[in-house]
């Protein structure tokens, strides 16, 4: 028993020693990077860019997030980072108001905050790295759908869940664009897929048989696009029912080449992560200040700042011609 | 297992609750030493700071309340899978009463508590009047309550912009502690008194141990069991209000998955899932053990570099639960093997004993 | 007649839904989409068969969804490395059986409550998988899809496998001694022991079975599309348990059969497509499913009250 205790003590001492040793020789800036959910390929590709920036800038990057999209857990993780005394926090907010209480607390302690992907309340962060406004995404998706259908016919939508904030936001702008510009198009149904590809496939199958005049399925969550495409392919309706959506090139390449999915819309997620980390580090170092009009991020060059939004640029449309050039 | 009358010191020191307390202390000390560091600016950060400890307390209140709600339920050999969904439904209703109906916060809170009791009452009515298994009834209401929350808000509505006075409950400190901790401790004390110091509460164990026996002994079993589920609903509604105050928003997905952590805490705390034994202080220790593990891991530099704090805490909670269970049945199991095999060689029992008649 | 009243009432409810669909949404009855629907539910049926065994034995297994994900990802990775599917299939079933055996050992060997044991393994497996895979899709070669058959042949094969398993197991539960043992143990383990049955062994084996079935189901799911999502199988446990219980298998063990579970699964599987076909908005789905479960269980309770 005694030897066990000594051994335990030794182990603890070693652990402590190693920890303080690392810290003493390690005056690196620490930046924490919070996704909406960790298991999501979208955020993993963002992290790839963030890792690249961290390596370039010689900082330490922390990455953690809820395993499911859970607003309460996001707050807990941010509060943990506050007590860890990180230098900057970059957040993709699952819920605007919910996360802002934790972020304000972080700012009060002198931690710099930027948001990316989905914004918090404006007073809870310094900058929002805006990959494309919800309006821009909604319009691009709707315009692309209208182009494919020649602005006429029925279409259906597959979302992640009925409660996800960003999905609601995009849906709202898609519907607004529809009403404003395409009176001959009709949105016949919106079905959730719980971020599950398998469920998206089942839902798309039912949508097609329930709506014989359906011309297009629009999936606005990334697992939904390959799920819908597989359903269309299995129903033998390739080309008759078109598929567009927000998704990652790698998950959709095979369907785009087969002609099932017409186009996938997304921004360059790697660049989003890269730009976010650069901005967070510059903020922490004091080289980026509120009120700046433009920002230069390493290899990517200069970006416009509109108000307190750093603009990544327009969403990108991947199709048969260009999708192989991207690997994320 | 319950410590109402410890036969001697040794039994007390080796009781489930005490063992859990040792684990908790060891856990805490480990994280205190391994999870506290001095950062670049020379400030002490991490697990060993007072702020962190208060955060842990703050984050544990809702799951802790649900665990308190579930303790009497499980002692009576029941289960309630619907508490997390009921939390979501009550949060939505609370937001609706306040924002859409324009009621003052206290009235809205009071009504939300009433709705929680009604939700618990639905469980209670189905379980006791028809003598149906609680597992399956509450599996049904688990879907039903969450579904209602989504249907009421059409999934879209999020209630926000609560007044600062209300947010104080969830985000500020009062008399040195996070405000909601006072509520949590108050409920904990009340449930403890109910279960351990009233004849009413002591009957839960009788009911859980042998419901038929309790019936013959003249206990109003149905009425007591119904009370337990209504109480669970009421506490879930209180957790909903605290949740809303902490996040500053009420949304249909509030409390998703909380039931699993709450059940884990109760069972880890030594309450038998078959009913009949258990204690409220055990549950509190269970909640603390899980909360410290979860938050402590997130402070360990090694875990942080692996980006795995969230996943690892789930993995370890599962493992901890299995260990606690195995530990709790081992003595009983050994003695039952001995009883079945009075012949020589009592050692090295097979893992899958097939006692012959 | 009375003996199968419970099962017949589920079949009746299913019939009513199907007739309602024929009247209000005849588009539901198109051969290809219907076959697709059945194919999508075939893996679920296989898991439901296992779950029926477990619940009849008076146990429960809520780790099937996590087991399903783990086996899916492992099998997908092997297939992506070019392993022939005929080799991957037994490996997947074996892996499932091993995971089931672990649950079975804890439940039957150490006599721990199955709901808590499988709760723990559910959380641990899910989070462990998350930690290792971080949610990344597994891309498999095209040849994997439908076991290399044509699509319609593949779809019929899936349905045939699931139905064959259902029929074989359904008959075995009634006519083979081992099947009766499960009922005996679920009704009264002590009486079963006195009758010479080894209740712990039977309990252990039903967990091995559900594990192997989950492995098979995972295989049947991954061949339906060329990509595996690590989240696949999330929430499967609740779907399957609900189907089995709606189908009249008593959660208190010893009562019910696989035919009822089959009808229950079809009934619940109809909800989502039916809502789509009837153009009812999606946010009612969960509430309706919960309502069906409660209705089925309450009907059980009322009936057993009347009998007593």
Confidence of residue B26 (pLDDT cuts 50, 70, 90): very high
Chain B neighbours (≥3 Cβ pairs under 8 A) are: A, C
Distance CA A223, CA A69 (A): 14
Domain that holds residue C240: 41-263
Measure in Å the smallest separation between the Cα of A67 and chain B Cα atoms: 7
Tell me the mean pLDDT in the region C161-167: 97
The answer to whether residues A61 and A54 touch, using CB atoms and an 8 Å cutoff, is yes
Asked if C37's CB is within 8 angstroms of A201's CB, the reply is no
Q: Which of residues 300-319 of B touch A (CB under 8 A)?
A: 301, 304, 307-311, 314
For position B156, which CATH number holds? 1.10.3470
Q: For residue C297, is it within any domain? A: no
Residues 6 or more apart in contact with residue B336 via CB below 8 angstroms: none
CB contact under 8 A, A39 and C135: yes
ipTM of the shown complex:
0.86
pLDDT at residue C70 is higher than 90: yes
- For residue B38, which residues of chain A lie inside 8 Å, CB to CB? 20, 23
Can you give the length of chain A in residues?
A: 328
Question: Of the candidates C177, C184, C130, C166, which has an alpha carbon nearest to the alpha carbon of residue C263?
Answer: C166
First to last CA, chain B: 30
Contacts of residue A62 in chain B, CB cutoff 8 Å? 304, 307
Between strands B36-38 and A30-34, the pairing is unpaired
Point out which residues pair with A311 in neighbouring strands.
Answer: A130
The count of other CB atoms within 10 Å of the CB of residue A209 is 22
C-chain residues within 8 Å CB-CB of A208? 33
Bridge partners for B44 per DSSP: B38
pLDDT reported for residue A294:
87
User: What's chain C's average pLDDT?
Assistant: 90
Is C272 a member of any domain?
A: no
Of A41, A206, A235, the CB nearest to C135: A41
Q: Could you tell me if residue B103 is inside a domain?
A: yes
Please judge whether C281 and A190 are an interchain contact, meaning their C-beta atoms are less than 8 angstroms apart: yes
Residue B4 pLDDT level (bands cut at 50, 70, 90): very low
| Half-sphere exposure at residue A225, Cβ-oriented, CA atoms within 13 angstroms | 26
Q: Which of A189-198, B338-347, C105-114, C177-186 has the lowest mean pLDDT?
A: B338-347
C54 touches chain B (CB under 8 A): no
- Determine the average pLDDT of the residues in C224-240: 87
pLDDT at B5: 52
Q: Could you tell me if A142 and A178 are in contact, meaning their C-beta atoms sit under 8 angstroms apart?
A: yes
> How many domains does one find in chain B?
1
Whether C123 contacts B314, CB under 8 Å: yes
pLDDT one-digit tens code per residue, B47-102: 888 888 998 999 899 999 999 999 999 999 999 999 999 999 999 999 999 999 99
Closest Cα in chain C, distance from residue B271 (Å): 12
A-chain CB neighbours of C235 within 8 Å are 194
Q: What pLDDT was estimated at residue C308?
A: 64
Task: Classify the phi-psi angles of B218: left when phi > 0, otherwise alpha if psi is within -120 to 50, otherwise beta.
Answer: left
List chains touching C (3+ CB pairs under 8 A): A, B
Residue C279 forms part of a structural domain? no
CA-based nearest residue to B284, from B298, B271, B303: B271
- Is the pLDDT assigned to residue B353 strictly greater than 60? no
pLDDT digits (tens, 9 = 90+) for A67-119: 776 778 899 899 889 888 899 999 998 888 889 889 999 999 899 999 998 88
Alpha helices in chain A (DSSP H): 2-24, 41-57, 71-84, 96-108, 134-149, 165-181, 197-210, 224-234, 249-258, 269-285
Portion of chain B with pLDDT greater than 90, in percent = 48
C-beta of residue C44 within 8 angstroms of C-beta of residue C240: yes
- Burial of A217 (C-beta count, 10 Å sphere; 0-12/13-18/19+): buried
Domain tally for chain C? Answer: 1
Work out how many CB contacts closer than 8 A connect A with C.
108
Q: Which of B233, B250, B101 is nearest to B167 (CA)?
A: B250
For a pLDDT cut of 90, what percent of chain C falls above it? 54
Cβ C130–A39 below 8 Å, yes or no?
Answer: yes
Residue B355: pLDDT band with limits 50, 70, 90: very low
CB–CB of B37 and A23 under 8 A? yes
Q: Classify residue B57: in a domain, yes or no.
A: yes
Say whether residue B155 is in contact with chain A using an 8 A CB cutoff.
yes
pLDDT surpasses 50 at C92? yes
Structural domain range at position B233: 14-20+47-324
Option in A206, A230, A250 nearest C272 (CB): A206
Residue A27 is nearest to which of B40, B254, B308, comparing CB atoms?
B40
Q: Is C112 on the interface with A (CB under 8 A)?
A: no
CA distance linking residue C38 with residue C22, whole number of Å: 17
Write out pLDDT tens, residues B170-211.
888 888 899 999 999 999 999 999 999 999 899 999 999 998
Q: Residue C11 pLDDT > 60, yes or no?
A: yes
CB-based contact, A43 to chain B, within 8 Å: no
Instruction: Give A207's contacts in chain C (Cβ within 8 Å).
Output: 276
- The rounded distance, in Å, linking the Cα atoms of C283 and C230 is 25
Selecting from C115, C123, C242 the residue whose C-beta is nearest the C-beta of B318 gives: C123
- Helix axis angle for C31-56 and A197-210, nearest 10°, is 140
Residue B152 falls within a domain, yes or no?
Answer: yes
CA distance B172 to chain A (A): 11
Query: Which helix or strand (DSSP H or E) is residue B317 part of?
Result: helix B309-340
Residue C187 lies in a domain: yes
User: Quick one: pLDDT at residue C2?
Assistant: 64
Å between C299 CA and nearest CA of chain A:
30
Q: Does A202 touch chain C (CB under 8 A)?
A: yes
C 276-305: CB under 8 A from A: 276-277, 279, 281-283
**C116 has a pLDDT exceeding 90:** no
pLDDT at B107: 96
A189 vs C37, C231, C276: nearest CB = C276
Distance of CA A109 to the CA centre of its chain: 27
Question: How many Å apart are CA C176 and CA A7, to the nearest integer?
Answer: 57
Within-domain flag for B333: no
Measured between beta carbons, the chain C residues lying within 8 angstroms of A212 are: 27
Contact A205 C227 (CB under 8 A): no
pLDDT at A26: 52
Confidence at residue A143, expressed as pLDDT on a 0 to 100 scale: 94
Say if the Cβ atoms of B248 and A70 lie within 8 Å.
no
Contact C47, C265 (CB under 8 A): no
Most B CBs within 10 Å, among A10, A76, A83, to test the B interface: A83
Residue C35 contacts A, CB cutoff 8 Å: no
| C-beta atoms surrounding B11 within 10 Å | 12
pLDDT at residue A94, as a whole number: 82
Q: How far is CA C104 from CA B306, C99, C101, in A?
A: 32, 9, 5
Q: Which has the closest alpha carbon to B245: B319, B174, B309?
A: B174
Helix (H) or strand (E) holding B36: strand B36-38
Q: What is the mean pLDDT of each run of 10 residues along chain A (328 residues)?
A: 47 46 59 86 87 93 82 88 90 86 91 91 92 85 94 93 79 93 93 88 92 94 92 92 91 91 89 94 90 87 88 86 84
d(CA B350, CA B173): 55
What spatial distance separates the first Cα and last Cα of chain A, rounded to whole Å? 53
Residue count (chain C): 308
- Residue among C25, C137, C272 minimizing CB distance to A203: C272
- Residue B302 within any structural domain of the chain: yes
- Which of A47, A54, A85 to probe the B interface (max B CBs under 10 A)? A85
Q: How far is residue A82's CA from residue A102's CA, in Å, rounded to a whole number? A: 9
| Model pLDDT for residues A27-64, shown as the tens digit of each residue | 789 999 999 887 777 888 899 899 999 999 999 999 88
Question: A167 — contact with chain B (CB < 8 Å)?
Answer: no
Domains of chain A, earliest start first: 2-131+269-313 (3.40.50.2300), 134-266 (3.40.50.2300)
Confidence check: pLDDT of C287 > 80:
yes
Reduced to 3 states (helix: H, G, I; strand: E, B; else coil), residue B38 is strand
CA distance B25 to chain A (A): 15
């Amino acid at each position: 028993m005694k030897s066990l205790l000594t051994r335990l003590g030794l182990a603890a001492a070693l652990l402590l020693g190693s920890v303080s040793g690392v810290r003493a020789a390690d005056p690196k800036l620490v930046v924490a990077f919070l996704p909406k959910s960790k298991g999501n390929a979208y955020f993993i590709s963002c992290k790839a860019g963030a890792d690249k920036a961290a390596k370039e800038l010689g900082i330490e990057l922390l990455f953690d997030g809820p395993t499911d999209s859970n607003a309460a857990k996001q707050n807990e993780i941010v509060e943990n980072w506050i007590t860890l005394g990180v230098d900057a926090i970059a957040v993709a907010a699952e819920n605007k108001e919910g996360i802002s209480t934790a972020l304000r607390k972080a700012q009060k302690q002198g931690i710099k905050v930027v948001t990316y992907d989905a914004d918090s309340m404006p007073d809870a962060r310094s900058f929002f790295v805006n990959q494309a406004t919800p309006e821009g995404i909604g319009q691009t998706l709707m315009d692309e759908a209208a182009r494919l259908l020649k602005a006429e016919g029925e279409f259906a939508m597959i979302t992640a869940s009925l409660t996800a904030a960003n999905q609601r936001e995009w849906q709202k702008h898609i519907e607004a664009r529809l009403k404003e510009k395409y009176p001959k198009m009709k949105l016949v149904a919106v079905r959730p897929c719980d971020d599950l590809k398998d469920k998206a496939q089942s839902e798309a199958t039912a949508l097609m048989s329930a709506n014989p005049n359906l011309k297009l399925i629009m999936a606005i969550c990334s697992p939904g696009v390959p799920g819908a495409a597989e359903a269309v392919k299995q129903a033998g309706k390739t080309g008759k029912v078109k598929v567009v959506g927000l998704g990652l090139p790698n998950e959709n390449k095979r369907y785009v080449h087969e002609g099932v999915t017409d186009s996938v819309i997304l921004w360059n997620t790697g660049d989003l992560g890269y730009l976010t980390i650069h901005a967070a580090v510059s903020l922490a170092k004091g080289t980026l200040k509120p009120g700046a009009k433009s920002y230069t991020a390493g290899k990517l060059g200069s970006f416009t700042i509109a108000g307190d939004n750093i603009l990544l640029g327009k969403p990108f449309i991947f199709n048969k011609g260009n999708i192989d050039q991207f690997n994320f | 297992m319950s410590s109402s009358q410890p036969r001697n010191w040794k039994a007390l020191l080796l009781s489930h609750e005490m063992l859990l307390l040792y684990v908790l202390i060891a856990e805490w000390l480990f994280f205190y030493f391994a999870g506290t560091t001095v950062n670049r600016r020379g400030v002490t950060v991490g697990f060993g700071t007072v702020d962190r400890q208060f955060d842990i307390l703050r984050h544990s209140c809702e799951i802790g309340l649900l665990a308190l709600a579930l303790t009497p339920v499980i002692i009576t050999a029941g289960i309630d899978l619907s508490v997390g969904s009921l939390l979501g439904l009550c949060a939505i209703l609370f937001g609706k009463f306040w924002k859409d109906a324009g009621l003052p916060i206290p009235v809205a809170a009071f009504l939300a508590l009433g709705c929680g009791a009604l939700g618990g009452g639905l469980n209670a009515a189905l379980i006791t009047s028809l003598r149906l298994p609680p597992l399956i009834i509450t599996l049904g209401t688990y879907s039903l309550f969450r579904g209602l929350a989504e249907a009421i808000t059409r999934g879209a509505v999020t209630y926000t912009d609560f007044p600062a006075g209300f947010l104080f409950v969830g985000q500020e400190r009062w008399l040195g502690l996070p405000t909601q901790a006072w509520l949590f401790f108050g409920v904990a004390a009340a449930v403890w008194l109910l279960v351990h110091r009233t004849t009413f509460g002591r009957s839960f164990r009788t009911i859980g141990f042998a419901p038929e026996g309790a019936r013959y002994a003249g206990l109003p079993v149905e009425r007591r069991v119904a009370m337990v589920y209504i109480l669970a609903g009421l506490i879930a509604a209180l957790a909903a209000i605290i949740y809303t105050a902490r996040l500053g928003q009420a949304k249909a997905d509030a409390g998703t998955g909380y039931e699993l952590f709450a059940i884990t805490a109760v069972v880890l705390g030594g309450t038998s899932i078959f009913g009949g034994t258990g204690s409220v202080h055990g549950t509190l220790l269970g909640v603390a053990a899980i909360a410290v593990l979860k938050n402590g891991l997130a402070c360990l530099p090694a875990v942080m570099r692996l980006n795995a704090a969230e996943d690892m805490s789930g993995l370890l909670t599962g493992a901890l639960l299995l260990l606690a269970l195995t530990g709790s049945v081992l003595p009983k199991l050994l003695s039952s093997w001995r009883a079945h095999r009075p012949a020589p060689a009592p050692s090295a029992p097979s893992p899958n004993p097939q006692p012959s008649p | 007649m009375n003996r199968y009243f419970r099962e017949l009432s589920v079949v009746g409810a299913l019939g009513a839904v199907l007739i309602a669909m024929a009247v209000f949404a005849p588009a539901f009855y198109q051969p290809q989409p219907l076959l697709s629907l059945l194919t999508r539910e075939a893996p679920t049926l296989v898991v439901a068969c296992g779950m029926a065994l477990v619940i009849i034995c008076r146990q429960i297994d809520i780790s099937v969804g996590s087991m399903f994900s783990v086996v899916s990802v492992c099998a997908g990775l092997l297939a992506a490395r070019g392993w022939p599917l005929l080799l991957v299939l037994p490996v997947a079933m074996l892996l499932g059986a091993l995971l089931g055996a672990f649950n079975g050992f804890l439940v039957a060997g150490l006599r721990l409550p199955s709901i808590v044991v499988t709760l723990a393994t559910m959380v641990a497996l899910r989070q462990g998988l998350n930690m290792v895979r971080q949610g990344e899709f597994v891309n498999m070669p095209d040849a994997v899809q439908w076991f290399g058959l044509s699509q319609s042949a593949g779809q019929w094969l899936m349905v045939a496998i699931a139905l064959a398993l259902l029929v074989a197991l359904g008959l075995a539960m009634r006519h083979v001694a081992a099947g009766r043992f499960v009922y005996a143990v679920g009704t009264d383990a002590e009486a079963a022991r006195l009758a010479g049955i080894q209740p712990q062994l039977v309990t252990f084996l039903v967990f091995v079975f559900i594990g192997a079935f989950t492995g098979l189901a995972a295989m049947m799911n991954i061949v339906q599309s060329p990509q595996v999502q690590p989240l696949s199988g999330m929430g499967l446990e609740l779907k399957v348990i609900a189907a089995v219980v709606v189908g009249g298998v008593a959660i208190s063990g010893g009562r019910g059969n696989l035919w009822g579970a089959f009808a229950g699964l079809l009934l619940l599987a109809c909800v989502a497509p039916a809502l789509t076909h009837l153009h009812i908005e999606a946010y009612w789905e969960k509430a309706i499913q919960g309502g069906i479960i409660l209705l089925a269980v309450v009907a059980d309770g009322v009936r057993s009250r009347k009998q007593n």
